Structure 1
Amino acid sequence: MLRSWLAPGPPAQPPVVTDRRERRLIGLEIAVVVTVTLGLSALRSALSLLEALLAPAPLSEQQVALNAPASTDLWLDLAFQLTRALQLAGWGALAAYLLLRAGFALRRVGLDGRRPGRDALHSAGLAALIGIPGLGLYLLGRLAGITPDVAPSTLTDAWWRIPVLVVSAAANSWAEEVVMIGYLLTRLRQLGFSENRSALVAAVLRGAYHLYQGVGAFVGNLVMGLVFARYWQRTNRLWPLVGAHLLIDVVAFVGYALLVDVLPFT
């Protein structure tokens, strides 16, 4: 049954573009969108991992903060955090806008409100499916000494810390799933990429921009990317992926901020 679910389904695919000029423009658009959004993040992430490996301290003794202070002034720090979230929201909005300009109603990629209850249920299931093994993979990496100490938040304990972490989680989930799944997989279908090849491309890129968290994060996010891509290819629903990613990040960010003093593995 699981094997059947993981196999590519028969989605309502857009016709493959055969006009050479149009194919070049789609390819160029993909390159531009990926470069200015998560592609540059992947490059910076790889360089960060290389720098960490070259550092005198072993990787296991280094720390990576996902939500770190950007200023010593609380109000400026708040402004920086919200600006970062706005940038991520803009990445997702850009991808959604380009799909609209290409003639794709957002309901065609699963961004509609037709089934909120089922989407929410699937979000919770996907979050558990990815989040629990992901935590186990992180702990194994820490024990093996190949994963840095990943601190989901080192923000100051200000009144706005928890709301900002939730906003950050929402911005991350919106940007990554709209760009990497809704946009990228739709455009690759137009170029005639197979479902398996498209899923692999998106998953490798997803893993690459998490390399700064260590090799374990690359593997975990690669698997997450494959599962999320296949889910979308089978169901054509994007909101459950946004919701699942949101739940994973909220639990990680907020849970860490509230429980950092009692967690045994920090």
Structure 2
Amino acid sequence: MRDWLRPSAPAVDVPPQSDPRARRIIWLEIVFLLLITFGYSGISAILSLAQSALSPGGIGGQAVALNTSRAQNGLIDLGYQLLGIARLIATAGLAMYLLWRSGVGPRLAGLVPPRVRECAHGIGLAALIGLPGLGLYVAARALGLNVEVVPTTLDDHWWRIPALVLWAIANAVAEETLVVGYLLTRLRRLGWSPNAALAASALLRGSYHLYQGVGGGLGNVAMGLIFGRYWQRTGRLVPLIIAHAVIDIVAFVGYALLAPHLGWLN
């Protein structure tokens, strides 16, 4: 375990850029990409947390739904759901395209078919993050530091469960590709140390979950540290996508199936 806490030679070897003009271009690329994706979400989540804190009942008295209906008509709602899913996948595609243009293809960034052992790593990471994360959520709710998180309020259409699974996969692909594969690679190119890049990636991940409350932010910072270090040491991104998708599928689909039968979930 101690070996995983220490920085090592990066699995993705990207030499630092020394040319000042090229470094400015990289910085602009990072800033603009984050401002239209998870950086924007982070700023929005911070404002949402402030609003919750100032609302009657404080943070603990608020609730947020993650997957909601977007239209009264079922087919139109499905269209909106698929559009949102496609946007997340496009976000990952844009990040990979920018890396590819810089000479780092998807394979070098870690998007390669996983071996059986790496699939097992994904399941193990899901358990490592998911179970303590649930405990942290319960504790934060008891202390009034988290809003009530409702995984889904989608109407009970025939497509609800497949859509929730697709949302979980799209969230995983977009977040792990951009926040881990893309950002850590580009910061490495700028000459950041492994630990500094890891901290930046984890703080970004925590920031855009602050709409859930302090507990949600801290839990995702911890997730970011573990996931980022795994990528730094192995260069494999797909196990992180598997782990993230499993966590979200269990939360989204589990809630949709169990909430009508377990009153304490509501």
For the aligned pair, the TM-score class normalised by the smaller chain equals over 0.9
Distance 1:155 1:215 in 2: 26
Instruction: After TM superposition, give the deviation of residue 263 of structure 1 in Å.
Output: 5.8
Instruction: After TM superposition, give the deviation of residue 265 of structure 1 in Å.
Output: 4.6
Q: Structure 1 residue runs of 4+, over 3 Å off?
A: 263-266
Give the counterpart letter for 1:219 in structure 2.
Answer: L
Instruction: After TM superposition, give the deviation of residue 143 of structure 1 in Å.
Output: 1.3
Instruction: After TM superposition, give the deviation of residue 60 of structure 1 in Å.
Output: 2.1
Aligned to 1:116: 115
RMSD over aligned CA atoms reads 1.2
Range 156-165 or range 69-78, more displaced:
69-78
Aligned to 2:202: 203
Distance 1:105 1:196 in 2: 23
Distance 1:59 1:98 in 2: 38
Aligned to 2:47: 47
Range 51-60 or range 78-87, more displaced:
51-60
Aligned to 1:30: 30
Secondary structure of 2:36's aligned partner: helix
Residue ranges of structure 2 left out of the alignment (5+ in a row):
none
Secondary structure of 1:226's aligned partner: helix
Aligned to 1:99: 99
- CA-to-aligned-CA distance 1:141-161 (integer Å, 9 cap, x gap): 111122111000010011010
Aligned to 1:11: 10
Give the counterpart letter for 2:195 in structure 1.
Answer: N
Instruction: After TM superposition, give the deviation of residue 26 of structure 1 in Å.
Output: 0.7
Residue ranges of structure 1 left out of the alignment (5+ in a row):
none
Question: In the TM superposition, what are the counterparts of 1:143-182 in structure 2 within 5 Å?
Answer: 143-182=142-181
Aligned to 2:80: 80
Distance 2:95 2:175 in 1: 10
- CA-to-aligned-CA distance 1:2-53 (integer Å, 9 cap, x gap): 1112211222421111011111111111111111111111111111111112
- CA-to-aligned-CA distance 1:133-179 (integer Å, 9 cap, x gap): 00000000111122111000010011010000001001100000000
Instruction: After TM superposition, give the deviation of residue 61 of structure 1 in Å.
Output: 2.6
Count residues in correspondence: 264
TM-score w.r.t. the length of structure 2 is 0.96
- CA-to-aligned-CA distance 1:189-229 (integer Å, 9 cap, x gap): 01000000000001111000001111100000000001111
Give the counterpart letter for 1:29 in structure 2.
Answer: E
Distance 1:132 1:69 in 2: 28
Contact 2:96 2:105 in 1 (8 A): no
TM-score w.r.t. the length of structure 1 is 0.96
Distance 2:82 2:46 in 1: 25
Secondary structure of 2:149's aligned partner: strand
Give the counterpart letter for 2:193 in structure 1.
Answer: S
Distance 1:148 1:265 in 2: 14
Range 58-67 or range 223-232, more displaced:
58-67
- CA-to-aligned-CA distance 1:33-83 (integer Å, 9 cap, x gap): 111111111111111111112222332232110001111221121111111
Contact 2:172 2:241 in 1 (8 A): yes
Q: CA 1:135 to 1:73, structure 2 compared with 1: closer, same or farther past 3 Å?
A: same
Distance 1:175 1:93 in 2: 8
